[in-house]
Every structure is written in C-alpha cells, then in structure tokens.
C-alpha cells in the first residue's frame, strides 16, 4: 500500500455504456491514495447522471463537463486539474487489471531516473472475450525492428509484486528507438508529474494520432521504463474508437508529420543504422499513401508513395499502389485487398 497520490485521467464521450467499468477498475487498484478525474467531452447519453448516481458521494471521483473538443482537450483539462504526484491515463472503454498501479509505482521506485512507465495489454472484443493475450507488439508495428525489450532498453531488473509475481522491468533512454514509431499505449501509462510538466500537453489540433506525439516528447526528456506484464484490457473493433478505419487518414498523416518533425529537429539523436531509418521513413509514407488512397485522396496518396519510393526505391507493392493512383476507381477497388495486409498502428 502507498500514500502517494495517483491521479487517473479518464476522458469520455458518449460512453455511459462502458465508463463505469473503467472507473471501478481504477478505484479497485491497491493504491491507498487515488483520485479519478472523469472529463466528459460533451456527452449527450446520460454519462453525467450515471456519474452523479454512482460516484456522487465518493470524494475520490471528480467529474468535469466541457464542450466537445476532442480527446486531447479533455486530457489536457485533466492535466490542469489533477493533483497527484503520479498521473495515469485510462480511456473510458478500457479497464485496468488488478495490481497495475502497485507494479508501476514499484517499478519507478527501482528506476528513479525514469519519468514514465508503461506495460503490455490484452485485446478484448465487444463481448469482452480475450482475443489477443499480448497485444502491444501486434498493435504497434515499430516493435518489428526490435525482437526483445533488451534491444530497446539499456537496463534490466526484476520487480517483485504481490498480485502479479516477479515482473521483468526494463529502463533507459529510448528516444532514438521511439523516433521510428510508437511503442507506448496510453491506457497503460503512469508518469511522474515532474516529467509530465516537461512534456506538456497533448496536441489539440490532432483529432487522432496525438498519443505518439505525446509519448515521443516524454521520451525526449529522459529515461523511461517498461514493465513486461499485461495490466489492461483494451477494447478493439468498436465503431467509436479513434483507431477505427474512419480515422486512419488522420492517424497516418499525423504520424508522418510527427516523424518528419523529429527527423528535422533531432536527427543527431537518432543513433541508429541509416538503413533502419530509411526503412522506417519508407514505411511511414507508404502507410499514409495507402490510407489516403482508400479515402479517395488519390493526388495526396501519389505524393506519399513517391516519398516512400525515394527513401527506399525497391518496393514492388508501393510501385503498384503508385500506378494505381492514376487508374479508374473500379481498378483501385481491386487492389484494396492487398492493403489489408499492410495496415496498422505505428
């Protein structure tokens, strides 16, 4: 048990059907001092009444209502209002498993130089059945460049916990690695307030893909840690998720913008083989190209494919896609089956 205050920020929008589970999973953590900030981003589905009825007398739960402005603006309101020495994020359709916070607090105690710690997660479907018991590497394709956590981090030790047993903990400066693409899932994160203040707020002009920009800046300011355990259930396949196909153009193009800015401003810190960087550049532009092509933005897609091929000329699939951007729409639809094997989060 610990008396250190942990602030849990839960942004939500029209998720009265799910948010109770998220809140309860935070309140049930083996953490003596906790506050849960529910930031309602303009819900119209009875969320306010649900929170009032179930948590109105619980001083640990603080409810804030704001006009709809997106998940970043909701999280930023929570950052401004929270009081904890440590801050965690939890999306309103996800939920934590027992022992999450105690594991992460113990991990940060072992590596006091680390400003953030995250974990693995399990993916569950609409019926809450586990579809993927270890989903982090599957969701974030940047892990394909690194076979094990030892290829990402410089330190390794063991965290001894009661609920989860002995867990491998990895730590170090990973900015050069995460510069290639996302490695962190937001609902698994716990940050020290000191690091959060250096990182700053989420970008409110990004309606999707804001997480990668935030975690990249967090890693830019110093060492971080990863506890190799599953601590959350992550809901997949829901229409209102910001990773749903309808948001993929924003997700991919915002990733490219963040990636380009990092190469422009911090290229000297990315101490990785040139071939690896070129492969990552080509992959980023190709992803944006495919997303734009599927959305019918053929001219924009063509530009991304050309950039991808400049970074890595021999890519037969991208050459086909580039040619397809000059074809009639019916011909393009025949190529979309190829795309399904190439998409995913970065």
DSSP state of 61: E
More confident residue, 128 or 310: 310
| Higher-pLDDT residue of 126, 96 | 96
The top-level CATH class assigned to 246-339 is: mainly alpha
Mean pLDDT of 17-42: 96
Element (H, E) at 98: none
Residue spans in the chain of domains classed CATH 1.25.40: 246-339
For the stretch 136-158, pLDDT in tens is: 999 999 999 999 999 999 999 99
Which of residues 243 and 320 earns the better pLDDT score?
A: 320
The mean of the pLDDT values for the chain is 92
Over residues 247-290, the pLDDT tens digits come to: 899 999 999 999 999 999 999 999 999 999 999 999 999 999 99
CA separation for the pair 265, 149 (Å, rounded): 26
Please give the C-alpha separations between residue 91 and each of 8, 53, 112, 133, in angstroms, as whole numbers. Answer: 10, 21, 26, 19
Nearest-angstrom CA–CA distance, 52 and 169:
39
Looking at residues 102-119, what average pLDDT do you find? 97
List phi, psi (to 5°) of 278: -60, -40
Classify 34 as helix, strand or coil.
strand
- CATH class of residue range 5-241: alpha beta
Pairing of strands 5-12, 86-89: parallel
Question: 5, 35 in Cβ contact below 8 A?
Answer: yes
Q: What is the DSSP string of 171-224?
A: EE--HHHHTTS----GGG-EEEHHHHHHH-PPPTT-SSSHHHHHHHHHHHTS-E
Which pLDDT tens digit goes with each residue over 190-235? 999 999 999 999 999 988 889 999 999 999 999 999 999 999 999 9
Which helix (H) or strand (E) segment is 127 a member of?
A: none
pLDDT at 2: 46
Q: Span 102-115, mean pLDDT?
A: 97
d(CA 251, CA 28): 33
CB atoms within 10 A of CB 159: 25
Q: Could you say which DSSP state residue 97 is in? A: P
The strand pair at 130-132 and 155-160 is best described as unpaired
CATH 3.90.550.10 segments of the chain: 5-241
Query: Which tokens sit at 123?
Result: 């993916």
Q: Is the pLDDT of residue 128 over 90?
A: no
Q: Do residues 68 and 42 lie in contact, with contact meaning Cβ atoms separated by under 8 Å?
A: yes
C-beta neighbour count of 310 within 10 angstroms: 12
342 or 320, higher pLDDT: 320
pLDDT band at 237, cuts 50/70/90?
confident
Confidence of residue 328 (pLDDT cuts 50, 70, 90): confident
pLDDT at 300 exceeding the cut of 50? yes
Which residues are paired to 88 by β-bridges? 8, 190
Q: What is the per-residue pLDDT across 30-80, written as a single tens digit (0 to 9) for each?
A: 988 999 999 999 999 999 999 999 999 999 999 999 999 999 999 999 999
Record the tokens describing residue 316, joined without a space: 């037969």
Contacts of 275 (CB under 8 A, 6+ apart): none
Measured CA to CA in angstroms, residue 280 lies from 24, 207, 290 at distances of 40, 23, 15
Q: For position 346, what pLDDT does the model report?
A: 58
Give the residue from 25, 22, 6 showing the smallest Cα distance to 196: 6
Q: What is the DSSP annotation of 256-287?
A: HHHHHHHHHHHGGG--S-HHHHHHHHHHHHHH
Residue 267, number of CB atoms within 10 A of its CB: 11
- Give residue 1's pLDDT: 44
DSSP letters for 235-257: E-S-TTSTTSGGGHHHHHHHHHH
């Amino acid at each position: 048990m610990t008396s250190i205050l942990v602030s849990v920020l839960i942004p939500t929008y029209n998720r009265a059907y799910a948010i109770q589970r998220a809140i309860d999973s935070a309140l049930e953590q083996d953490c003596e001092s906790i506050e849960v900030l529910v930031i309602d981003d303009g819900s119209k589905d009875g969320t306010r009444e649900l929170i009032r009825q179930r948590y109105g007398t619980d001083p640990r739960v603080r409810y804030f209502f704001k006009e709809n402005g997106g998940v970043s603006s909701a999280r930023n309101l929570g950052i401004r209002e929270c009081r904890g020495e440590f801050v965690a994020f939890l999306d309103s359709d996800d939920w934590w498993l027992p022992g999450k916070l105690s594991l992460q607090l113990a991990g940060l105690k072992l590596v006091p130089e680390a400003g953030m710690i995250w974990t693995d997660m399990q993916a569950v479907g609409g019926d809450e059945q586990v579809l993927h018991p270890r989903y982090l590497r599957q969701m974030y394709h940047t892990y394909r460049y690194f076979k094990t956590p030892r290829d990402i981090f410089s330190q390794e030790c063991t965290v001894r916990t009661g609920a989860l047993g002995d867990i491998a903990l990895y730590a170090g400066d990973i900015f050069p690695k995460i510069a290639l693409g996302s490695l962190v899932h937001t609902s698994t994160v716990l940050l020290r307030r000191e690091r959060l203040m250096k990182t700053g707020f989420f970008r409110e002009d990004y309606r999707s893909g804001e997480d990668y920009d935030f975690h990249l800046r967090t890693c830019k300011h110093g060492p971080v840690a990863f506890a190799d355990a599953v601590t959350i259930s992550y809901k997949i396949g829901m229409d209102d998720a910001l990773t749903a196909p309808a948001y993929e153009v924003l997700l991919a193009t915002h990733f490219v913008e963040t990636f380009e800015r990092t190469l422009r401003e911090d290229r000297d810190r990315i101490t990785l083989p040139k071939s690896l960087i070129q492969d990552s550049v080509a992959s980023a532009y190709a992803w944006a190209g495919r997303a734009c092509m599927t959305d019918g933005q053929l001219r924009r897609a063509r530009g991304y494919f050309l950039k991808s091929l400049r970074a890595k000329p021999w890519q037969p699939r991208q050459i086909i896609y580039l040619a397809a951007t000059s074809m009639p729409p019916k011909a393009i639809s025949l190529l979309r089956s190829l795309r399904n094997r190439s998409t995913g989060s970065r």
